Structure 1
Amino acid sequence: MSPWSGDRCGAHPEQCERTHVVRNSLDTAALDAAIENVHRAGMPGLFAEVRDGDRVWLGAAGVADVATGRPVTAGMRHRVGSITKTFTAAAVLQQVEAGRIGLDTPVGRYLPKLVPGERGDAITVRMLINHTSGLAEYLPYAYPSLKPFPALAETGPRSLDDHRFTRFDPTELIEMGVAAPAVGAPGGAPGVYSNTNYLLLGRLLEQVTGTTAEQYITRNVIERAGLRDTELPAGPYVDGPHSHLYEAWFGMIDPPRDYSVYDMSWVGPAASLLSTVADLNRFYGMLLAGEIVSPSSLAQMQRTGPVISQEGKMIHYGLGLHPMEGSGEGTFWGHGGTVWGGGALAMTRADGKRQMAVAVNLQRWNRLDSSGKPQPHPIDDALATLYHVAMYG
């Protein structure tokens, strides 16, 4: 996750409840306790789906609306942030398979006006997908109150309100990132995570397919996977049952403010996706089974290198996928994501049999200490425990 950055259970809660209490190899009691503990630690609401083969646990704890006490349910639609990147990466790899895009072709061959000159010749499509392009993040330039980032104490949330209904032009956002000082040499290690890369991939898809990235991804990734509750939204509203999304911005918004109504053009094909925990597990299960891209493309997606995340941590990152590993428990693949107020994490074991998708409705809950660094919060440990029980318990 970044600092920005069956039947739906909302319609049929009784079906969710039946699934919730089925006894199987999943430790449902431990999952029940773990998800409740995240809520007790301070998360207003969260929900999750865990799969082990054909066995399913669905859980939810807390509220979708702190004013009314309306509860969250496990079938709610949710803004899942940078999980979108896996969908966009898969779409690009489909076009690589079709011979319309070269993974190691310079992006300047396709988009010479957006990435001109020597940089366009040096930055390949692969470098965009795995964040080794050296292109800077555009967000601090699009959101003036975030300009001091990564000096969090000097940032402020004012721009979040200013841009709630702003319809950003992706070309202008890309130009901000390209014009900003480079954060590394093309292909250098470690890479630096940047949403600029994925806005460029959206324009690349448009260039080679003759349709918008959103339309292509919808038809060839979302619909191909049979996802009924997933979409790249055109407007600021979430259709169907959903939670409010509460942004705290490191304690600077107190009480946290609802940003569930928000125009997502600020991230587009980098982080705008709406989905459900069930759809996310279905998607990653099919991806890892070679049903969205070919097995050879999946192998490319799982080739990782070091990348500095937006939290400043070193992670391993492939082509729109990153791994999580437990000691002796096998590797999980997936992605995390955040938007203003909302977050999600979806991870699937390499053999596809164990899956986890978790959605939360509060972001940047860590207040800053005197040095400006986020302080530990009980939510951190509670979420880590939930993830561990979901994946390995």
Structure 2
Amino acid sequence: MAIKGSLNSNFRKVLAVCPPPALKQTQPGTLLSQKKYTLSGSWAAQKARERQKEERIKTGVKLTGFFQVMDHKTGWEGMEPIKRTELVDVDGIPLLKNTADNWQRLWAFKARPDDLLICTYPKAGTTWIQEIVSMIQHRGDPQKCDQAPIHQRIPFIDLFPPKPFPHGLDEAEVMPSPRTLKSHLPVPLLPPSFWEQNCKIIYVARNAKDNAVSYFHFHRMNKGMPEPGNWDEFLENFLMGKIAWGSWFDHVRGWWEAKERYQILYLFYEDMKEQQEKDRKYNSGSQMDPAREIRKVAQFLGLQLPDQVVNQIVQHTMFENMKVNPMTNYSSIPSFIFDQTVSTFMRKGTVGDWKEHFTAAQSEWFDDACLRLLGDSSLVFRTEL
């Protein structure tokens, strides 16, 4: 099934026309704080941060991943309690409270011309594309990728975990160039230096139905996310954009339009998955051309890879391999943060799992809302292969 369309700013009117079927009028699973943030910054505070950064570099202090410096089996000295967070409105877009509290600093982030930014809506294949990019950069050598977990190799600049964990922004600021960075920010909230430096950006979009299901389960297992409520409540919040990083519709449309003006490679999760399935058949004797999407990424990065290297990347980034790889499956994160007994970080990695969650009425309501919210765009999403 294809969902085609464009951004509709009058979101609440659409929901009024397409009310959720058989859903109780319950309080949303997450509440937005009344506190709001603007995009201006403090010059004095910025100068102070620059001096701190220079001091860290001068004294040779290197921030390391927090799971290298602490033993989660014996305790976390100085650890702030992990609790379900609230959302805070930043220029009309809900963000995690810790991100909003550090907003001025994030907005003032200084991108470099050779930075590569990987951006997605949450749970749209972020870790998958990160590992593909990392393998391409290391010319298909898995040993180089296995030297550190993915969250250390590619800092998440808009994540501000509780103390004593270092922030992704801290790690990014002391990284040597060229840097590869991760973000879930929508176009309006991306620090302006990325546009000013015309950085290369890789964006991955996933169909809204599967994205909603995956994001729901991520909320369930991640103790640092807002309370998701039940599936019905979460689905309603998803459609209303009342979840962290805002509306899926605004997100995918904003980046789709930005690619016309900037160096943005826009990929679709379903294309990547389809090609992966074709690669399986190819390796079994089919005549299908393997690794199309991997070659597309490599070309965007200005690299030409031999077939042997491409095939190594294909095998290394198969979902079943990444799910058991401690460098990509986030198994190093302690269970009081990521409770993988509730749901694994890498859960299924399929297209069409939404059918196990949506009722027929919910599916019809969701499709109608998608068509109304994405009505005039050239964007097309597939919800099954």
Q: Which structure exhibits the higher relative contact order, with contacts defined as CA atoms closer than 8 Å and separated by 6 or more residues?
A: 2
The answer to which structure has the higher strand fraction is: 1
The answer to which structure has the higher helix fraction is: 2
**Structure 1 length normalisation: TM-score?**
0.27
